[in-house]
Structures are given as structure tokens and as C-alpha cells.
Structure 1
């Protein structure tokens, strides 16, 4: 099987789509599956990951989302590379320029086409005061995804939302987690000392510091906790984005901002944390949530989006009304005041994460690929 992936973000970009696709290509390499990725150049550490499997194109940062890139692909070059590669299937992961190239060439060269839906852009509009664009956005998204023989979505919540909107050929493609990398067994005391954590409890957020993550609610939650509890709490905010400067200026004294962390550094933070607090309502899945659970850290999240399908209330964490700082604070207090419950939820979260194995998930996805490109109604190019 030869697989071509068209995406507007890829490793070493730091976002859920790029990280998921990197897990996928790692799986291809382990299984000796031939693949080629067509993606923009990266805005960070561009020389960190160079591979003959990746074809990069010039790009610029999106003005409202600098971590993502708008590619300027050379269609003639892509067509030549694609014909030389001769893939069995094309997978389009994003609805921007690279994705449009993938759709066009799949049709022109009669290559079976599938896609995946990772981001709830419609929900983003609310946080940028652009709700008036909702109807136009949905019209475009339906048009963009219509040619796919299969459209993979990361959660039941996203499946339901798109089905109601009239999207077809939907299949659930849940995301997994590397439980050998994210685990509870790092040296927590050493990590706390390295980070200067002296408080009894460590509460952590990981994500982009942007409006769609509802990070301002995070500040409200921190300020909502009683003074005697706040004296025992240290907040660690891992990530970066357009709101970082404003958040730091208005944050309480017990909140530390680290910027982006990856690899072992990130895994250690999850492991050393007592609670993971994540108010974002816009997630189609919530990779950071399942990473926290794999690390034995219960999660308190917004009762919205794909995280609803990860968190079992009272078992692996709690779900709170979006933007309701008081409800988030109550859930935090419930666990900080009950050590045995905190430990129990951490164990349950780890047990759940162990069932979400990437290889098993990718095996199932390849089965869907097989059924797509073996469709006798599709004739591949010669």
C-alpha cells in the first residue's frame, strides 16, 4: 500500500493535527508502509525533521493563527511527484491550500480519496466575533469534504455534529496515546524541584493560549478558589499564543507560564501534576486530555466537544459547564479535599488510556483505506 497525505500542518508544528499525523507516519515506518507527505514548510525548527518522505512548500503564517501556515504549493511539481510515487490512496487532513491540491489531483489522476476532520472552525468563530461567517463556513466545509469516500472524525460528538449538518461517509477515527511515553512513573519530586514547585498541589493546563481555548476562564477558576486553598496550589500553564502576554499580566502570583514544552519535558509535567484543568470547549477530540489521563492525572474539562467522549464523570475526572469558573473550582476542591478519590481517578484514567493504543487504531484505519481503494468503480491512473 502506498499512501499520500496532504496537510497544511505537520511535525515539528505543535498542534493536535501535526502530532496525530506524526504518530501515523511513525506507524507507517514501523509497518514498512510506503508514504509521502505534502505539507508547508514549518515556522519552527525547520531543519529539525527532514525526510525523503516529506515534500515541503513555501508558506506564510496565518495572521490570526501564527502557529499554522498557509502554503503556496506548486501544483505542477506536486503532480509530477504524485505520478512518480503512484499512491493507492490520498488522505487529505486539512481544508486549506494543500488539502485543495490533494482533492484536485485525486480527481484528475483517479486516485481514491479519503479525509479527516480535526478542527471545529465553526466554534472558533464565536471566540473571534465572526459568527456572521458561520453559514459561509459550513457551506465551504460541506463542499470541501463531499468528494471523500470516507471522512474520518475523532469522536462520537464530532460524528453527531457533522451528521446533523448533512455530511456523509463518516467514520469514527479515535486518537490514541503513547502510554510508554506518557506515564505516572517519572520522578515527581525531582521534576518539582527543577520547576521550583514548592506548593502541595500542582494544577496544569496544556494548550494554545488563544481565545478558542477559553483560557480566560482558567484565570477566573484560579481566582475562584478560596484563599486558603490557593496558598497550597501552584498553577503551571504550558503553551504559547496570542493571549500569553495578557494572561501573564493578569494572572495570580501562583501561576507560572512555561511556553511550549514537548517530549520528555511535557510528559514529566503531566506526571508530576495532581490535576489537569482544561476549559477549552472547541476540541474535536482533546489529545492533551488523554495524555494527562495516561500520566495518571485526573482531568477537569469543559462539557463540550470531543473531550465529553474521553472523560467519565466521577471516574476519570469531571465535566463542567463551559465558562463556568465556579463549577470548575468546585470540581477542583472536591478532589483536592479527598486524596483517596484523587488517587482513584488517576488510576482509572491510566487504565482507560491503556486501552487507547495507537497501533490498534491505525490498523483499523488501514482496513478502511483498503475498502476505499479496492472499490472496483475506481480506476487508478496508469
Structure 2
């Protein structure tokens, strides 16, 4: 079995959760011994596993179908998580939904990160079989490291007793960036650092203004930072606060959990079935909730859930995800009469 992993606009999307999902797929397939290629011109593959939905992605699906190849679409995107993102996203989101339905319906099988996103797609009327498989997490990469933590503290000149609250995400209203800043105003004694970057020309003026100037002195937007500094931040910070309103999963949450960091999120449907309030994380529904929880968690008035959160990350390790992907690939191949015939002939020869 050979899989073509296709990812349109890899350089542009490398800083997003979808970009990290591709890295995880490569690792996961290597872990379970599945051969893969990233060469879009390759023709000797069995399955096209496609991650993006641009014009070239559409062409790749059509090309694969003409060649008689099986197509698995990794449905990272929905209409819901497209809204409240880029300029004009709410106005064109119905068209995006229509396009996604058309594209996803051409696949032989769909993979989506959570039962929640699976339910959304089924609600669109899509009849293609769907499996929910987490994007996974590299536990080794986010294992606590004093060296990485020191690099983070040195980079941001963090004092010994200074409390730090972090978030990682694009500059989208959907991500809860306005709430992050509003909460920071209530805790001027703490440092709030939002990691991530989105081109300023692509986001609404109100969000641009927040990032560039309309935020208190204790809020920082250092942009996209990778490697030891961000990995050190995940474990060295005092809290990972992710107030997003809509996700298909949230890879950054898995990264925080894998770092044994305390996680605070908004109570939204996507977390049902894998995150549990007051068990492996804390959840709030309003800024009033978040104010209470931030205070309680930072001052240790509330018991932390770090170890239980780490257990969640272990359940979604890249190794486990690799086996789940393999099962889907085998299921798709088993429904291919041409491949089945080849397998029978190979067995008879042996």
C-alpha cells in the first residue's frame, strides 16, 4: 500500500493547525510502516489522502478519480470554523459550505478530527463514510524540558515569580482573541502571551486594532514562534487559556495537555467525549467564569488537572493515530475490486 499525502499551500498553512496535522500524518504512517509520498506527480500510489480544499486540491481529486485511485479526504474544515475568521468570511461562508460538500462528496471516505466535526458533516447531508480520528500529538516533543523552559523565560525576560498565561492561535475573532485581551485587563499583574500570526491584511479592522495597539501593557503578541521557545512556553507557563468559540479539534490543546500544562477552555460541543470539566481541564462559558477560574488556578485555590489532561494526550499519541489511519486505508482498499483481485492473484502465486 502506498499513500499520496497531498497538501496544497504547505508553506502558507505551515503555521496553522492543519499544517501540523500533515506533519503528524507523516510521522503516524512511518510509525506503522505505511509507505507514503508527497510528490503530487506520483502515479504509482493506491490512495490519495488529501488535506486541503483549494483549486489545486480539486484538480488532484479529479485526477485521482480518472486514474481509478481511491480518495480519502481529511475534513479539517467546516463552514462553522470558517466563520469569524478572515475579512468577509461570514458573508461567503454559505458558499464555502456548498463547495466543501461538493468536494468532500467526491471522496471514497472522509476522516475528520472529532465526533463533533463528524456530526457537522453528516448534518450537511454528506453520505460518504466518515471516521473521526484525532490529529494526534507527538508526546516526546512536548515532554517537559528545563532547557526549553529556560529558553522561553530568557526570550521573554520572565522574572522568577511572574505568572504567565498563554494562548496559541491565529488572529481570529473565532479564537476568542477579544476575550483573551479583556481578561488580561482584569489581571494586570499577570503576563498574557498570545502566540501565532495571521497576515494583517486578511483580518477585520477590529482585530487588527487589538493586535497592533488596543491591548493593555501586560498582553504580548510575539507572532509565530516555533521550536524550543514555544515548547518551553507550554510547560513553563502557569496556564494555557484557550477561549475559542469553534474548533474541529484544536491541536494546540493537545500540545498543552502533552506538556502537562493546566488547560482552561470555553465550554463548546467539540470537546464532548474527550475533555471533561474539572477532571482533565476546566471549562467556562463566560468571561465571568473565566475570571473566577483564572484567579483560582493561578493562586492554587482550585486543584489542577494536569496529570489527567496528560492521560488524554496519551490516548491521542501519534503511534495510536497511525494504527487508526491504517485501519481506514485497509477498509478503503478492501472495497476496491481491482486491488482485491491483485491481492488474490498475489496470494495464489505464493
Verify same fold: TM over 0.5: yes
Structure 2 equivalent of residue 328 of structure 1: 290
Q: Which runs of 5+ in 2 are unaligned?
A: 201-206, 343-350
Contact kept in structure 2, 1:284 and 1:306, CA below 8 Å: yes
Tell me the TM-score normalised to structure 1 length. 0.78
In structure 1, C-alpha distance between the alignment counterparts of 2:151 and 2:25, rounded to whole Å: 33
Deviation at 1:272, TM superposition (A): 0.4
In structure 1, C-alpha distance between the alignment counterparts of 2:197 and 2:220, rounded to whole Å: 12
In structure 2, C-alpha distance between the alignment counterparts of 1:29 and 1:379, rounded to whole Å: 22
Contact kept in structure 2, 1:224 and 1:325, CA below 8 Å: no
From 157, 180, 183, the counterpart of 1:196: 157
Deviation at 1:273, TM superposition (A): 0.8
Superposition RMSD in Å: 2.5
In structure 2, C-alpha distance between the alignment counterparts of 1:210 and 1:131, rounded to whole Å: 12
Deviation at 1:280, TM superposition (A): 1.6
Higher mean C-alpha displacement, 28-37 vs 258-267: 28-37
Given the superposition, is the C-alpha separation of residues 277 and 351 from structure 1 closer, same or farther in structure 2, using an over 3 Å criterion?
A: same
From 129, 133, 141, the counterpart of 1:173: 133
Question: Where does 1:233-272 land on structure 2 (aligned, <5 Å)?
Answer: 233-241=190-198, 242=200, 243=207, 246-272=210-236
Are 1:297 and 2:254 counterparts? no
Deviation at 1:195, TM superposition (A): 2.1
SS of 1:8's partner is: coil
Structure 2 equivalent of residue 108 of structure 1: 66
Contact kept in structure 2, 1:10 and 1:19, CA below 8 Å: no
Are 1:221 and 2:183 counterparts? yes
The aligned length equals 329
Deviation at 1:192, TM superposition (A): 2.5
Are 1:92 and 2:92 counterparts? no
Contact kept in structure 2, 1:285 and 1:305, CA below 8 Å: no
Contact kept in structure 1, 2:116 and 2:269, CA below 8 Å: yes
Structure 1 equivalent of residue 325 of structure 2: 365
Given the superposition, is the C-alpha separation of residues 190 and 117 from structure 1 closer, same or farther in structure 2, using an over 3 Å criterion?
A: closer
Structure 2 equivalent of residue 63 of structure 1: none
In structure 2, C-alpha distance between the alignment counterparts of 1:301 and 1:340, rounded to whole Å: 15
Deviation at 1:291, TM superposition (A): 0.6
> What does the per-residue CA deviation read over 1:215-240, in whole Å, with 9 as the maximum and x for residues that have no partner?
11211111234xxxx32x11122112
Deviation at 1:190, TM superposition (A): 6.3
Contact kept in structure 2, 1:8 and 1:96, CA below 8 Å: yes
Contact kept in structure 1, 2:151 and 2:228, CA below 8 Å: no
